[in-house]
Chains A and B, each alone.
Chain A
Amino acid sequence: MSVLVYTENTNGSFKKSVYEVVSYAKAIADSLNTSLTAISIGDVEQSALTALGNYGASRVLNVSSDQLKQFVNQAYASVIAAAADQIGADLIVLSNSFSGKGLAPRVAAKVEAGLADGAVELPDVSSDNITVKKAAFSGKAFAITELTSAKKVIALNPNSFELRETGGNTTVETFQPDIPGNDLAAIIQDIVRTTDKVTLPDAEIVVSAGRGLKGPENWGMIEELADVLGAATACSKPVSDAGWRPHSEHVGQTGIAVSPNLYIAIGISGAIQHLAGVSASKTIVVINKDPEAPFFKVADYGIVGDAFDVVPRLTAAIKAYKGN
């Protein structure tokens, strides 16, 4: 039994969620008394690969070829399965990112592994059947899932595990498996990044607003508050349905589920579908002029007040605090 972790790169560098998943995989490897190998696919600088040792990967398989410069789930799954076979890994860990969601089932099917995606904490490895707590019912519940197969795949939700710097060394090796031609049918034409700021699923702080803002022209103050906090912006379903904000910002049961340290909800009443998507947030602040808004029932801190009055003053107060 050894553990393999896939380290997804974004434009050639690793985001925080990668170090989370490496820290997580290292903690599992330690409890299984085995070592952790990372696999990186695409062009990543040597220094970034070596830095994976800080989080416990004692070996890095580096796959860098022209065919695999950009993510194609079919081909990447073949490479990861080949690597698992080569090093004899029975457990493969990756991030439950958008790419991870497209990749994990393909990897699991190739090695006939049970798959637990959306893991939210360390698994129980006390028996051969690893047991994983995973998010289900869009944040309304957790499903405790037992992986009964010999090989196993776990996909970790972002912001679910802390970074653990172990400070170890790593060796980087070139790995060059054969890629079946059929795996390269999908071709990436373009990658469009709509934000150069922190992205919503990875954000540690999220500033979210709803219909209480009255119109898209009023989002300036939400963006200002997000900027001073280094936060991502989000919205409720009625707001994205009305086209005030893009669908990718819609948090809730039929949007995305987030798990930041701090979720600030402004002018959102707190429908059950929205609450489902934010229940994994560590701290929730609600600002709403209606003291009866259901959101206050699940909030840690609340301000009853008009967003147009409170938000600019809150932004100023945070600026002042950050200035000290």
Chain B
Amino acid sequence: MKILVCISNVPDTTSKITFTDDGTTFNTAGIQYIINPYDEIALSKAIGLAEGGQGTITVINIGEANTEAAIRKALATGADEAVRVNAAPRDAWFVAHQIAAYAKDKGFDLILTGRESIDYNGSQVAAFVGELLGIPSVSTAKKIEIADHSATVEREIEGGKEVLSIPLPFIAGTAEGVAEPRIPNMRGIMSARTKPLEVIEPIEVPVLSKITRYETPEPRGTVTFVDAGEVEKLVDLLHNKARVI
């Protein structure tokens, strides 16, 4: 089975998010980058499926040269080869076109990515790639089981789950529950250095949207403390002041 895993490079979850140039530019000063946590789940699932010579894993990332640390980590974790599309990932529409352009004649049986990236939270790439390649997509997969040429996939819905039967190939955005995250071992780290990492140039994609600036949430007022012995007072405040109950 040939598997393509799409990874993105995102600010670490502990990052304080700030902007410069009048709120038009994300401030990268002091930001540590990591592989998007949901993409790590996708990679871990792919490794589980490919184990024991059952398949090969290609990792694709759309990024400039500074994302190669993340790509090498993916190779160290267990991917066989990697491709970097040499461009800043403008938006999900752009990223999906690069993935689809690369994947379209490679015969992948399965494409996995995270259900969303934790920076722009688009949850768009899986469905865009599905549409561009004309294959089914599942945007928030909780469980994936492959047998022969078909998969059973559980999809998150509000208050439950939907169980789908999907023929290969398809693309899924993975959520928690699909696989336990794996970490590279020493042998993986050593072998990652010599695994192939191909760099290709992006295709042109029409611009349909652009982020003009950013805002941060309004700071909240100071907290009003209520004595632990006076819960009735809290109920009164929530009803009469906050008007939420």
Contact = CB atoms under 8 A, between A and B. Distances in A.
A136 B214 contact: yes
A248 interface: yes
Interface in B64-108: 92-93, 96
Given A189-B163, A282-B244, A301-B238, 17 more contacts: A74-B137, A98-B157, A105-B126, A110-B131, A141-B17, A191-B162, A192-B160, A194-B160, A200-B158, A202-B158, A205-B245, A272-B13, A272-B14, A273-B14, A283-B238, A314-B234, A317-B232
Contact of B235 (A142, A305, A314): A314
A101 interface: yes
A65 interface: no
A205 to B, nearest CB: 7
Interface string A273-317: 100000110111110000000001111111111100110011001
Contacts of A197: 159
B224 A186 contact: no
Interface in A99-116: 99, 101-106, 108-110, 112-116
A313 B231 contact: yes
A301 B130 contact: no
Given A142-B215, A247-B175, A273-B13, A116 B155 contact: no
Interface string B9-34: 00101101101000000000000000
Contacts of B209: 114-116, 145-149
B128 A140 contact: no
Contact of B244 (A74, A97, A261): A261
A9 interface: no
Contacts of A142: 214-217
A301 B214 contact: no
B118 interface: yes
Interface string A239-277: 010000001101001110100011000000000110000
A145 B91 CA distance: 11
Contacts of A202: 158
Interface string B202-222: 000011111111111100110
B30 to A, nearest CB: 14
Given A106-B130, A301-B226, A303-B228, A199 B158 contact: yes
Contacts, number: 272
A182 interface: yes
Contact of A144 (B17, B120, B130, B211): B211
B121 interface: yes
Contact of A141 (B164, B216, B223): B216
Contacts of A205: 244-245
A191 B242 contact: no
Contacts of A131: 212
Interface in B137-177: 137-140, 142, 152, 155-167, 170, 175-177
B63 interface: no
A269 to B, nearest CB: 14
Contacts of B13: 253-254, 272-273
13 contacts: A74-B137, A103-B127, A109-B127, A115-B208, A137-B120, A146-B209, A146-B212, A149-B209, A192-B161, A204-B244, A262-B245, A303-B225, A313-B231
Nearest to A313: B231
A71 B140 CA distance: 14
B136 interface: yes
A117 B166 contact: no
A297 B164 CA distance: 43
A186 B170 contact: yes
B127 A105 contact: yes
A4 B195 CA distance: 49
Contact of B134 (A135, A182, A302): A182
B210 A146 contact: yes
Given A106-B131, A146-B212, A98 B156 contact: yes
